[in-house]
Amino acid sequence: MEQAPWQRTAAGAGLLGADGRLAPTIFAEMTALAAATGALNLGQGFPDEDGPRAVLDAAKHAIDHGCNQYGPGRGSQELIDAVVEHQRRFYGIGLGRGDVLVTAGATEALAATMLAYLSPGDEVIVFEPYYDAYAAVAALAGAVLVPVPLAAPDFQPDPDRLLRATSPRTRMIVVNSPHNPTGTVFTEESMRHIVRVAERRDAIIVTDEVYEHLVYDERHVPIATIDAARDRLVSISSAGKTFSVTGWKIGWIMASPERIAQIGAVKQYLTFVNGAPFQPAVAAGLRLPDEHFDTIVQSFTRKRDILARGLRKAGFQVHDARAGYFLLADAAPLGVEDATDLARRLPELVGVVGVPLSALARPSRRDLRSTLRFAFCKSDDMLGDAAGRLAGLRSALAPVV
Ligand SMILES: Cc1ncc(COP(=O)(O)O)c(C=O)c1O
């Protein structure tokens, strides 16, 4: 049977099951495997420790004080104001209240933005490996995904490859920096090049900055600080990673009032509104003093280092992560060619779960085949335990003679 355009995009990204429909993600499979085997789940990127007490208490307070019904379509005024303040405080960016739209996480922000601007046949540039929702939503919009490979060791975009990947049909460039899953941070030079390419093709730039406060040795610099980007920019962030509240799903879009209206028109038919009591709580989080944001960085730097040491000791080649929740670990030095196969066996071999990097890239990316992604957004104890278990991997893999 002939494939619909959305199926061609989804199939190219490896998202379809044998029945031609979207299949459950490998993350669901690996999380189920962790639950079934009791293995330590370093597959999915959610913290196992609560975020700041003040933020949790603010949500409870909002629930206790009647903030439990549909709120304003653009989001609560308190959160909108807090986002405006946050952008000025951290980046010197001046926004107005009309430049912000609150969404059900960054994921809905991305979905509403893509659905607002993409028509069937339009091309969307993404940097690969990529957060899997980009491919799925591009497919749902009938658009064509055009991945630009990021390669080890630094995972920076190659300027020529980016330019060559564009065409007169390029409608959107999705920029995820700090980047999941590589932990890379695009250099200012890379970002300026992306802006030039977008200008040349008259494309919209959509940024996904959910890891903005999890950058370890430097400070995050949004593309929005580049003046030339402003008119074509839709910036997205969310609270989940910064405040360890991934289950709350509070995100936001920052763009011109005209774009906010266009994207908001789509969002109203996706969720209409969401998370009323969590919105003032996230506002409280964004207004926390600087020490809090410094503590997040220190704590995640320590966690990254515990896991990196454990993975290296276990025999993986570990790529440096400058940001985010994840470490990439190549199992080739352990004699492993297929990380998907290893991921399925890892719980039984050593009681740890990771995901194969191939889940976040096209099947043709052979250079990523032997690499796994491990999340370090876990308690120090759990990471220490995981490191101890992984130390037994080499002998568990050795053929029995
Ligand atoms: C790059 C990236 N964007 C977006 C999201 C999802 O954000 P949210 O939970 O706010 O929808 C994630 C979560 O893993 C992510 O890694």
pLDDT at 14: 85
pLDDT at 275: 98
C-alpha 227 – ligand 1 centre gap (Å): 26
Residues 182-191 have pLDDT tens digits of: 999 999 999 9
- Structural domains of the chain sorted by starting position, each given as residue range(s) with its CATH number in brackets: 5-50+291-397 (3.90.1150.10), 53-288 (3.40.640.10)
Question: What does pLDDT average to over the chain?
Answer: 95
pLDDT at 6: 86
3-state SS, residue 16: strand
- When mean pLDDT is compared across 19-33, 41-55, 123-137, 171-185, the lowest value belongs to 19-33
3-state SS, residue 194: helix
Residues 40-83 have pLDDT tens digits of: 999 989 999 999 999 999 999 999 999 999 999 999 999 999 99
pLDDT at 1: 65
- The protein residue whose alpha carbon is closest to atom 2 in ligand 1 is 131
- The protein residue whose alpha carbon is closest to atom 13 in ligand 1 is 45
Answer yes or no: is the C-beta of 251 below 6 A from any ligand 1 atom: yes
Burial class (CB in 10 A: 0-12, 13-18, 19+), 151: middle
C-alpha 182 – ligand 1 centre gap (Å): 14
Residues 212-231 have pLDDT tens digits of: 999 998 999 999 999 999 99
pLDDT band at 2 (very low <50, low <70, confident <90, very high): confident
Ligand 1 mutation target, pool 127, 155, 180, most atoms within 8 A of CB: 180
Higher confidence at residue 12 or residue 162?
Answer: 162
DSSP line for 306-375: HHHHHHHHHT-EEPP-SBSSEEEEE-GGGT---HHHHHHHHHHHHSEE-EEGGGGS-TT-GGGTTEEEEE
Please compute the mean of the pLDDT values over residues 151-167 and round it to a whole number: 96
What is d(CA 264, CA 277) in angstroms, rounded to the nearest whole number? 20
What is d(CA 28, CA 83) in angstroms, rounded to the nearest whole number? 32
Residues 318-335 have pLDDT tens digits of: 999 999 999 999 999 999
Residues 268-302 have pLDDT tens digits of: 999 999 999 999 999 999 999 999 999 999 999 99
Q: With 60 as the cut, is the pLDDT of residue 158 above it?
A: yes
Answer yes or no: is the C-beta of 45 below 6 A from any ligand 1 atom: yes
- When mean pLDDT is compared across 45-49, 83-87, 381-385, the lowest value belongs to 45-49
Residues 106-123 have pLDDT tens digits of: 999 999 999 999 999 999
Please compute the mean of the pLDDT values over residues 16-31 and round it to a whole number: 87
C-alpha 210 – ligand 1 centre gap (Å): 6
